[in-house]
Amino acid sequence: MAHPLLCPLFFNTILVNGLIMATAPLVAVLMLGQLGFTPWQYGLAFGAPCVSGLVGARLAQPLATRFGQHKLLLVTGALRACWSLGLAFIGPGVAGIAPVIAVEFDLVASVGVFNPVFASYRLQHTDKNHVTRVLSAWSITGSATIAAMIALWGLLGSITGPRAAIAIAGVLMLATPLLLPRPHRAGAHERELARAPAPATDQARESSVDLAASTL
């Protein structure tokens, strides 16, 4: 909580993941129930865009090398917050599948680039003695937040209707980039690290890389 970069990134990731998952049951109710989509159409709408996640993950390293890790984290972190609101405007019929595929394609592509960069960034800014504690706290809090937000949005959807609840989540999602680490904080923290003695040995660095690979 005291870390100037990891704290805002922590709240950003758990909120984004929670809001994305909170709308999933509501989208299913909207598409399969109210709009009358068949199961295969629903599966196509959410399965086909997953290819963009593989493409995004493959592009993460060259993009980070070209544009810088922190800049890429900010850009893709903001991009992944822009798409969910579009799910509130799903229409009926075959034509209604196209906007869903487009929204999911862009969302999954943004997440595909963001997640590897985020995992590396988090590990680089975590003290090697606290890696297990940080990853455990992140995982437990993220899972608990997703469960709570799914339940909360289910209740909200029963009051406002699925479409309105999805729109509310999409609007809240637009505010999450405000919780991404700011460039001036990153620069200040990196200067502090540069002034401090380097505690990590080559063996510790190799262990950190292995741990990052296993978490991905």
Taking alpha carbons only, the member of 19, 8, 11, 16 closest to residue 70 is 8
175, part of any domain? yes
pLDDT band at 145 (very low <50, low <70, confident <90, very high): very high
Residue with the bigger pLDDT between 114 and 198: it is: 114
Q: Judge residue 114's burial from the number of C-beta atoms within 10 Å of its C-beta, 0-12 exposed, 13-18 middle, 19 or more buried.
A: buried
Torsion of CA 143, 63, 87, 141, to 10 degrees: 10
Number of domains observed in the structure of the chain: 1
Residue recorded with tokens 């049951």: 25
Strand locations in the chain (E): none
For residue 1, name the pLDDT band (cuts at 50, 70, 90).
Answer: confident
Q: Please say if the pLDDT value at position 209 is more than 80.
A: no
Q: How far apart are CA 170 and CA 194, in angstroms?
A: 40
Give the lowest-confidence range in 68-77, 82-91, 134-143, 192-201: 192-201
Give me the domain span that covers residue 55: 6-215
* DSSP code for 96: G
**Segment 27-74, tens digit of pLDDT:** 999 999 999 999 999 999 999 999 999 999 999 999 999 999 999 999
Given a cut of 50, is residue 213 above it in pLDDT? no
Q: Is residue 165 part of a domain?
A: yes
pTM of the model: 0.81
Write the pLDDT tens digit of every residue in 122-141.
Answer: 999 999 899 999 999 999 99
Rounded Cα distance between 173 and 153, Å, is 14
- Whether 121 maps to a domain, the answer reads yes
Residue 176 in domain: yes
Residue 1: inside a domain = no
pLDDT computed for residue 204 by the predictor: 43
The pLDDT value given to residue 186: 52
Q: What is the pLDDT of residues 153-194, one digit of tens each?
A: 999 999 999 999 999 999 999 999 999 987 655 554 454 544
State the pLDDT at residue 210. 46
First and final C-alpha spacing in the chain? 23
The predicted structure's pLDDT at residue 170: 96
CATH number at residue 119: 1.20.1250.20
**144 assigned to some structural domain:** yes
Q: So what's the pLDDT on residue 64?
A: 94
C-alpha closest to that of 2 among 191, 212, 10: 10
Residue 185 pLDDT: 55
